[in-house]
Amino acid sequence: MQLILETLINNHGFETSQIKTDAESLAHWGKDWTKHFAPAPSVIVFPKSTEQVQSVVKLANEYGIVITPSGGRTGLSAGAVASHGEIVLSLDKMNKIGEFFPADRMVEIEAGVITEQLQQFAEDKGLYYPVDFASAGSSQIGGNIGTNAGGIKVIRYGMTRNWVLGLTVVTGKGDILQLNRGMIKNATGYDLRHLFIGAEGTLGIVTKAQIKLERAPQDLTVMVFGMDKFEHVMHVLSAFQSQIDLTAFEFFDDVAIEKLMATGHVQEPFEARTKYYALLEFEAPYEPIMDKAMAMFEQCMENGWIVDGVMSQNLSQAAELWKLREYISETISVFTPYKNDVSVLISYVPEFIRDIESVVNSNYPDFEICWFGHIGDGNLHLNILKPENLSKDEFFKKCQSVNDLVFATVQKYGGSVSAEHGVGMTKKPYLNYTRSESEIEYLKALKQVFDPNAIMNRGKIFDV
């Protein structure tokens, strides 16, 4: 390792400030938001250019050392955890926003740019970067691309994948590739860009991206509904979607609301609690859209689907209503939730939820379940809350056995064991619940093509 670091300094222009080996740094950059694996990297390097990334990759190949690419480390699947003496390659110093192309509504950025920084840049240009989620203030674009990040606006704007017009990558073999170079239309052979998106740094390292921006949404309006039956949530989704382009359709249950209200930070939306809640958002720059929404709301009330509802009258009311959904994650974190991020076809969601609840309740009757998620995308966050009288270790052990039951149900519905959090290390044992053995063989063969020595984030997604 010492030899590698000396070579980086002597031959590749690394300054000593671009290399850290102190214990505090190793602990800090060696882990993400998961807590299951102890960080134990050998060194943290902070390249400043694609060429410096390439030199690290080439040396890692030469000396057979594994690289863990590292962004904002907000991941929830231990995709960026380095626990086996790896070189952590942090993109922290590659955080420049480059050229902006107004006619293309496209901007070139380095992979270490923080998601929020890109959102802000877009806003300054009168435009919009629509991928948004709780960790946007810390997560980096490179990590977003590595996990094909989703979030709360997917129903309208799609995943990160939709906004990546081009990538610069260093493959596991050490080649620099410029993929798609910002074009909208380019039908010249396999689109390698899409292979790197969602690859969790196991094929190579994304160093730069060309990102498409969008027209900024106008007059966003939020409605929140209380409902008694889950089927009604789905009816309301279909009804509104047939008339209005939704920018969000989020869902949470009474457990989430109960914990949230106990904090005293958010106002109770309705006089009486209901079992389920939905938050929907849409652009309403024209009066008739508001009228349509009101008419649809009244019709859903008449049909008995909605028990109570509220609509924002201005942006600050909209922001207030969003807190009902946004504060949930933080609120339930004190209950040491065991989180699963799953998805199924939207059509299967009601049955799927029923099955999961029945499976968990019959096996672990003392476990409380809190549901929330992006129901307009078929994406549910299943949170099992720790009973007070159970130790953390005991609880997590039991949850591991719940996992098999939950993922068997996911498999029954042809769903995904990780909708938007990636596989990393935490979902690795369950990959075969979503991908067939035959598919996994192909994944491994692709890894072999780009990273024959398996130096790129080894041990993530699958074992080579």
Q: At what angle do helices 349-363 and 392-412 cross, to 10 degrees?
A: 140
Task: Pick the closer one to a copy of itself by CB: 72 or 415.
Answer: 415
Tokens of 188: 């010249």
Cα–Cα–Cα angle for 312, 316, 317, nearest 5°?
Answer: 30
Q: 72 in helix, strand or coil?
A: coil
The 25-64 site mask, x for binding a copy of itself (CB under 8 A), equals ----------------------------------------
Considering only residues 228 to 287 of the shown chain, the ones binding a copy of itself according to CB under 8 A are 234, 237-238, 241-242, 245, 285-286
Which position has the token pair 């909208």?
184
Strand segments (E) across 273-327? 276-283, 308-311
Identify the DSSP state of 114.
B
Task: Pick the closer one to a copy of itself by CB: 17 or 436.
Answer: 436
CB of 356 to a copy of itself, least distance (A): 17
Q: 44 in helix, strand or coil?
A: strand
Task: Pick the closer one to a copy of itself by CB: 48 or 161.
Answer: 161
CB of 410 to a copy of itself, least distance (A): 11
CB of 343 to a copy of itself, least distance (A): 5
Which position among 423, 425, 455, 456 is part of the footprint of a copy of itself (CB under 8 A)? 423
Which position among 130, 150, 172, 269 is part of the footprint of a copy of itself (CB under 8 A)? 150
Task: Pick the closer one to a copy of itself by CB: 8 or 80.
Answer: 80
Residue 166, beta-bridge partner list: 210
Determine, following the binding rule CB under 8 A, whether residue 83 of this chain makes contact with a copy of itself. no
Tokens of 127: 């435009």
Neighbours of 205 (CB within 10 A): 27
**60, 278, 348, 362 from 230: Cα distances, Å:** 52, 10, 12, 20
How far apart are the C-alpha atoms of 258 and 370, rounded to whole Å?
10
CB of 364 to a copy of itself, least distance (A): 25
How far apart are the C-alpha atoms of 275 and 255, rounded to whole Å?
8
Query: Looking at this protein, which amino acid is placed at residue 352?
Result: F
Which position among 431, 453, 454, 464 is part of the footprint of a copy of itself (CB under 8 A)? 431
CB of 118 to a copy of itself, least distance (A): 19
Considering only residues 311 to 370 of the shown chain, the ones binding a copy of itself according to CB under 8 A are 343-347, 349
Considering only residues 191 to 210 of the shown chain, the ones binding a copy of itself according to CB under 8 A are 191-192, 194-195, 197-199, 203
CB of 412 to a copy of itself, least distance (A): 13
The 99-138 site mask, x for binding a copy of itself (CB under 8 A), equals --xxxxxx-------------------x------------
How distant is the alpha carbon of residue 328 from its chain centre? 16
